Structure 1
Amino acid sequence: MGDLHRIAEKERPITPQPGFAEVLRRHRHAARLTLEQLAEASGVSARTLSDMERGRSKGPQHRTVTALADALGLADADRRQLVELAREGRLRDHWSRPTGLCELPRSVDDFTGRAAELAWTSELLRAGDAPGVGLITGSAGLGKTTLTVRAAHALRPDFPDGVFFLDLFGMSPRPLPADEALGLLLRALGVADQQIPGDVAGRASLYRSLLRDRRVLIVLDNAASEEQVRPLLPGGGAGKALVTSRRLLAGLEGVRRLGVGPLPLLEATELLTGILKERGASDEGSAVWQLAQLCGGLPLALRIAGNRLVSRPGWNAADLAARLTNEERRLDQLSAGDLKIATAFGLSYEQLAHSTRRVFRRLALVPGRNFDAALAGAVGGTSIEGAWDALDELVDLGLLQDSASGRYRFHDLVRLFARDRLRQEEPAAERDALTATMTSWLLRMATTAGRWFEPGYGRPDRPGPGLSSLEEAGHWLRVDADNWLGALRHAAGAGRFADVLDCAESMHWFSDRWMHAPHWHEVFTLGSEAAAALGDPARQAAQLNLLAWAHLVPREDLETSLRYAAQAMDLATRSAATSQIALAHHIAAGALRRLGRLDEAIAAETRAAEMFKADGDIDQYCQCLGALGTCLRDAGHYAEALEQYLGLWALLNDDGSGMSPSAAAFTRPIALARVGECLGLLGRRAEAIGKLTEAISLMEQVELPVPQARSLETLAALLAGEGRTGESRQAYARAAEVYEAVGDAEESSRCRDLANAAS
């Protein structure tokens, strides 16, 4: 019987001894205390108690356990058991978490901003037992490591089993290999050297098994590649990880991504102010604001600027801002001790393939703030396919920023770095040749695009991709305006007058489509100067007429418009350029009408119409007919004005009129809107509303935003007169949106006020 009893005892399953968490919870329940009540009685926080009872804190300090035993009124045996279980937990914790290995760096005291990013990390890492790996990416100097360390310190209480930090040296010539990284992390997690497997797969397996049941946060800083990072990520369970990298690591699966950008100007100024408070002196607020702008919101640049001022009490913010204003010296000035903004960018530059480095530094020649792959290929001396590859690599390393529209741009400081690399690595003669090539490409594209809008112009030869239609040509001219205008300036400075004049002339009809653009004054001034340099008075007269238009329509500087029209008239008369004489009369008439000199305006417009008709220029003749109708309207002759516009409307819709289709498409919605205006002025509101509604729709199709906004205002007033308040409010609101889209904030605000008043 005894033997049978011993066998039964041997086969009986062993009941595991209760741990500290279970014993503490049992004693609290026996005492009928809530967590809050025990916290109040013991002086131990309710959150700490919760961590203990959930097993997240297995070995609390002796004084904490004593306070709990006193609050629970435990007798000798129960008291000794609780104290002993806590001691065992501390011993296990000691062996599993050696100190000093992969320790988290300190968090800077003057950390500023990044509230949304910190909230993102907190939400990700506190999401229960769901897998949590966050990847934080961005270019050099954006403070990815500082942000991640800050987040890790804030979240340390959520990871009682440890927060570990490992620099993967992703920008060094030899990034930390995965097997070495795993060895360091395994030792930090308490694994003895002799227990660490020799191969990557074995180390990764052991590492994931340790993280599965431990509330551990692993911070992997400065990752080089997907291959380096994958073995270092938790495989699920309690362990979490944050990874930072300058690269996008697009192939990394199962991670949540956060792209970090520059600090907003307000937060950048706050960071600088926080650094400078150590000086004990007060810097001018405007100078600190200017410094923040010059640093482009880049935290590393801001810290360098702040540290330079702190270490030199005799300087002030205005002095340093003045130094940074010089672009040629800005990168040199952003240096403090071992902190150098150029060094940070240089580490990324060294990671690039040689062909990509060439494209990167040559892109510094682009005159505008952004560009596409076609321009990158032209300036980089590569095919469109080669440009895409280079741009992808640059975006991947954070040296360029991309957008959904297929445009790319530099951060201002990165552009200066690229310019410096270009000066250092390519001789002056080569740089000049590259600039000339890019200028030619841009002017050829702009001139060809502009000619799509000339009446009767056939399909132009395409000098590059994306200009196979009127719509594509217009889009290119708008989005690349800073680039082709910069090329126009450079060509003018280089004495390439024929190219400048060809480009300026090609913008004649397109300028009507984009009349609100701010640069027509400069375009036609450069064109006029180029024609004068070439000794061609007829073409100079044409450019002066366009310059007069630029002051008449977009600017409404009427006296200046008349002055340029008079100069054009004089040159055109001397060179017998009949068409330019007529155009000068037409533009002068527009200025005279706006000045209220209606008799003079009608006489000048009538003379222009006669000359254009005699010259067979039906397109311009129709413009004059419309302008005469506007003169009659302004004079209060609404019935005569309506008759004039209806005659123009009939001509526009007559296939045999000789008018070019593109000019008819442009003029038709404006003429129809004028018909609607006159009907409204004659009290025929219902008819007027119908005509204006149709005209507004046509204007949207052919992209005439300013006339569209004005017609929407007229429509809104007519709708209000009909008692259709809701529709009137919508029309005013839409007019405000259109004005805002073309950059006219004053008119947009006025229309919003009218919309609100109609409520």
Structure 2
Amino acid sequence: MDRDSGPRVPEQRARATPNTTTNTAMDSTTGDIASGTRKSAPGPVSVADSAPEETTPTPGTELRFGVLGPVRAWRGGEPLPSGSPQQRALLAALLLREGRTATAGELIDAIWGESAPSQALAAVRTYASRLRKVLSPGVLVSESGGYALHTGPDALDLSVAQELSAAAEKERTAGNRQQARVLINKALGLWDGEPLASVPGPYAETERARLDEWRLQLVETRLDIDLELGRHAEAVSELTALTAAHPLRERLRELLMLALYRSGRQAEALAVYADTRRLLADELGVDPRPELARLQHRILQADAELARPVEETAPVVTFTRPAQLPATVPDFTGRELFVRELGRRLASAEGSVMAVSALAGIGGVGKTTLAVHVAHAARPRFPDGQLYVDLQGAGARFAEPEAVLGSFLRALGTPDSAIPDSLDERSALYRSALDGRRVLVLLDNARDAAQVRPLLPGTEGCAALVTSRVRMVDLEGAHLVDLDVMSPEEALQLFTRIVGEERVSSEREAALDVVAAVLDLPPHETEDLLESLVDTSLVESAAPGRYRYHDLVRLYARACADRDEQPPTGIDLALFRLLDFYLATAARVYTIERPGDRLKDHLEPTEYEGLVFTDRHEAQDWLYAEADCLLACARQAAGGARLRVAVDLLWAAQDLAESGANSKSYETAARSALAAAREAGDARTEGRARTSMTNVHLVAGRYEEADEEARQAAALAESVQDPAPVYWSDNDRGIIALGQGRFKDAEAHLLKAMEGSRADGNRPGEASALCNLSRIQHSLGRTSRAIALAEQGVQVYDSIGHTLRLSNARFALGIALTHAGRHKEALEQLAQALEGFETNRQRLWEGTTHFRIAQAHLAARRAASAAQHAEQALAIGCIGGDRTRANVLITLGKALENLGQADRARVCWREALALHEESGAAEAEEVRELLDAPLSAA
């Protein structure tokens, strides 16, 4: 923080006067105020006005004061009466002098200024007397014809904020920006509304302005740090609101331009400059300051340096430094030439371009073991961390670079909301996050160079180790290493280290012919078996209760099963057991999340009961932790005899389709299941698979494809008298028709869905139809009916304890209330919906709710809040894909236009128009009208 940029902040409070003879000890915990529950200040000195007198502080007498909001005082946790506004003005004046004496005349000027009454001096004495009775003895003292407050260290919230700010500045100067950010946020957390709220007098007015300015400077400093840390997507939302509240503050505009540019929104960044220039000319008759003009020029030139966070001048704090390398093998043997060669290559990364080494060799030759060993040896050269991923290139389903980049960015401290959607944007942000750092990246088991390229750091000081079964001759600049099998001598040496010299000496020939067997044991012995496999390094324990194979062990075990099982009944039975387990457990999760829903009664019966959960959160933890394995199992089983179980598993795990994080993997599994069901000619299963695909298309905003899937799903289900997919499909088709503006069709489908749900005894299904019917009614202008239907849906969900879909009902009610002009009630409902979606990890629904909150604020003419929530929706993503994104941009543009940012508004509308024209949405005409309207500077 620039010391010269802010108002004068006293560096040290005056200590007690010589009359003070006793100071109490400071409680070292009093500075911990981040949670908002401020701890008690230490006991004050105890001094009489007339003569020094030692006293012993008694428990519960700690005083603390607040001026960063209403002027208040507490003893311990109990609030103390602060008296009339003028008495509070006296208290504030003394507190802000931080122990220095104020004369009676100074206090009179502070409270009344030139309007002081004739009895002002007597009034000051009265206020002081009353305060002395409230406070502890010796706190308010009379001296030198005036008064002073002697308080304990850190008894005043302002003093704590100043100390936190100073500590943040030191951390930032030392390069610890993350810690500086934490400290500034703690300081900002001490504000409780307007400082010196409702305190009269010219002194309070001046100090209020000073404290407001200082707070804004702290916010600017923290936002500056956010951009240095790569948190630009988060910053856009806050900066949009701040520039609306402080339109002439050019530093905020500068930060907003930079945040937008780093978020890939160059046109909007330039539009901010145009809006600012017009505003300054109209309001002040001046041009933007040179810093703003230079930034505009750099954006026009696409200056590469602008896209990068500031280089750290010291190592990143530990909690942002990844350490992901797997454990090295204690029995590592041989490969000495390769170890030296790779070690030298990694050492060359320091002060030079990025070093890349690619190890190639057949499966089981020891590529991963060698790479991990070398990486551990090189760790001191990469103090900013080590990243690791198994790219699963040898399997049928390799890791997607987008998903890997998402996990890498999180490991480097990037919040979810700041992680962009596209591969190119994630890769660019990843390189920016690594710029100036020295990080080693181990990319294990790569499929090909195309999978690897987006994951390379790309900056000097970093290095990458890649292992693969193919030689990556097309990986530019890579140092290629071909790894062969161990020599018999090296292999024997390794085995000797594992089992012992004595045994090998007596059984040398047997030792050379050792591989392993996998036994099928009863379920109750499974844990013992797994732990014994961990002990022999055939299985890894990734976390308590979770296990995984090394891919070589998996491939070898599969080869043994294919060879030994004739027919392969053992393989099939193992897959059947796993499918049964997943379906039974996923059904339990679904039932816990959706009490009263009949879906479980329509699923394929299972032989296993599945896991039992103690609460909803534990169930969700399992579902999301197991998502990759669950979806892979469903995809693998889709072509087998248990196809029905695989399809029902996808139906029961449908939350994964709407989560955002697993949506793509879910879609892949659902497509595989549908193809298998069609090939099998199983109408019942195909209908259910199409129900899952309908949901996939709806989440992505592909309405035409969704409608066709739902139509076929219903027809197939009706042909085999499978009732659940019929009313599910009717509900989906109602949502689709609503989105397309076909209200009559939508109503017909939803009424059928409600009838089907009632006939099946599925109350949540009935409530869902009610909520969707509500949205049709308000689209037709029948707001009273819309509110009534949504309220019925809320009541049904609430009565059965259905927390997840209760959020959807509140979402629908919030929309209806918005259309009715009942904005306060609408925002209350939408806020509760948002909380529910956050709790249930429905990330895309969170974003969609932010969009609806933005609409409610816009309707209530709170443009700044509308713009802020619209930005959050864009950062998170929404149900409905690009269609909804376009509508968010329309809302954002309207809010920006109301804030006088017409150029930026038009940029948003042009992007919205492109998205709607691409999808053929009817909303495109609305956007054209907005763009055809004359430029507004409202």
TM-score between the two structures when normalised by the length of structure 2: 0.39
Tell me which protein shows more helix as a share of its residues. 1
Q: With a CA cutoff of 8 Å and minimum separation of 6, indicate the structure with the bigger relative contact order.
A: 2
TM-score, reference length from structure 1: 0.47
